[in-house]
Structure 1
């Protein structure tokens, strides 16, 4: 028999549990947690590349910084940079959305010169490369690009570059322009992405090619010349519930490209859970992450 006392205790326990989960989601996970999520990618072209390189190639990917106070201050960016450098990556890629994504739930923005200077302390022998995200375009894409370049970070805007590694082996790194860059005032957006122009810059058919695309929605259109596509943007939904997944994903494909390692038609996509927050400063079940990809 359920007595009034048992019922009140159950209700009180439910309230306390809800408060604890809310505090964790709004306070602890988005601001203080940081995990390393690792993937291994192997394709025929990658195997050929590694025969020349003699060792796996490590790529560290950082996505969706959304620098702002108090959720992503410079001190936290410095911590992320230190943790990334400690992984000894051969190459570091930044997948866009450096500027704040929160409007109401922030105390201040972090100046571009501050967060770009912190990112300028990233270290990788094959360099640091970036693409812009939709928020960067909506705020000031030229300024974001200028600050990244001043920090020694190369921005790939519909550009492709060869990366030469040990033994003279090489792969291609391509950066696609943002797909939601320019609002048209009616809830739709015009992209600045140029897939044919980007693809045309790849100079051979034998070397692996990696595509950086802020939004994963481009993946069904990605040619199979690309061995791997790396994306951010979704934040893994920011909230991921057991059995239900992410209730809200900023993608026209819903949960299909929300997070993780996806393989379709022999093409591979990795979607990072990202680091910061957009719309609401909440994360639950999708802690901020440094995404690590080992080729081979």
Structure 2
């Protein structure tokens, strides 16, 4: 009797493990509406991509990215952790294809600076890796940045830029990766530019210090990644961890963030990938998101 029960438990466990590897290869396109454009504005589509963690051999990722051009976004934002090895740079840029001609901005994540090494796949369930003393092999991050900037995407790590799309002027401000302590919000602090119709903040890891500062400054929408949506979630419950100090309820998707009397929209991408040493997701499919930006006086 006990043996039969244990056998069934083992079978269920094996099925869950097998499904987790399957889920990690099957991407979703999420869609959300965010009412932040000036009254009377026509909708714009912003494609938010994060945490690709691509290896050169992972054709299933680059094929998905190639297909994203069919979404015809007006803006593209990538919030870091793009690659896991230098050899993936060429196939990644090739996969972006004509999306690189769409106005876009980017910031870097921790794994854009250093290659991953093996750690127990579930170690992040036990503790955050923020500020860890051990460091991995450096990656040539300046090559990645140069490739992204080559056709016009703007690096907003510790910077601001203005981009006008269909008559709407967006101000983007960003921070370098907070997970490695590289963020210095003072470099971009202050109210939005008087020239901007909409202010958007971009960061890799959604640490509260960054979210609070952006919100207090009047940024209307904040985009982040890093959490993988929890990566291994409990069905009908959600994420167990975020690998930062953001609460698990907001580990992925669209929510709001309030601080110092101000409120911003917050979108945390569950991301496309995972460490190449833990290519496993459960109850948290890999994804990208199309954010349809609408007029602030719209019902959507």
Q: Shift of the alpha carbon at 1:69?
A: 5.8
Partner residue, 1:213: 203
Asked whether the equivalents of residues 116 and 147 of structure 1 are also in contact (C-alpha less than 8 Å), the reply is no
- Distance in 2, matches of 1:96 and 1:289, equals 14
Structure 2: give runs of 5+ residues left out of the alignment: 115-137, 295-300
* SS class of match (2:63): helix
Q: Shift of the alpha carbon at 1:273?
A: 0.3
Asked whether the equivalents of residues 159 and 201 of structure 1 are also in contact (C-alpha less than 8 Å), the reply is no
Q: Which of these two proteins has the greater Rg computed from alpha carbons?
A: 1
Q: Greater helix percent: which structure?
A: 1
Q: How many residues align?
A: 262
- Distance in 2, matches of 1:76 and 1:153, equals 24
* SS class of match (1:214): coil
The answer to whether 1:153 aligns with 2:147 is no
- Distance in 2, matches of 1:226 and 1:267, equals 6
What is the Cα-based RMSD across aligned positions, in Å? 2.5
Asked whether the equivalents of residues 54 and 92 of structure 2 are also in contact (C-alpha less than 8 Å), the reply is no
Q: Shift of the alpha carbon at 1:120?
A: 4.0
TM-score, with structure 2 as normaliser: 0.78
**Divergent runs of 4+, >4 A:** 7-10
The answer to whether 1:135 aligns with 2:111 is yes
Partner residue, 1:22: 17
Partner residue, 1:235: 228
Q: Shift of the alpha carbon at 1:135?
A: 1.4
* SS class of match (1:17): helix
Spell out, residue by residue over 1:5-58, the C-alpha distance to the aligned partner (whole angstroms, 9 max, x if none): xx6554433322221110111x2111x201011111113xx233xx2x4x2010
Partner residue, 1:173: 172
Q: Shift of the alpha carbon at 1:293?
A: 0.5
Structure 1: give runs of 5+ residues left out of the alignment: 101-108, 182-189
- Distance in 2, matches of 1:233 and 1:152, equals 24
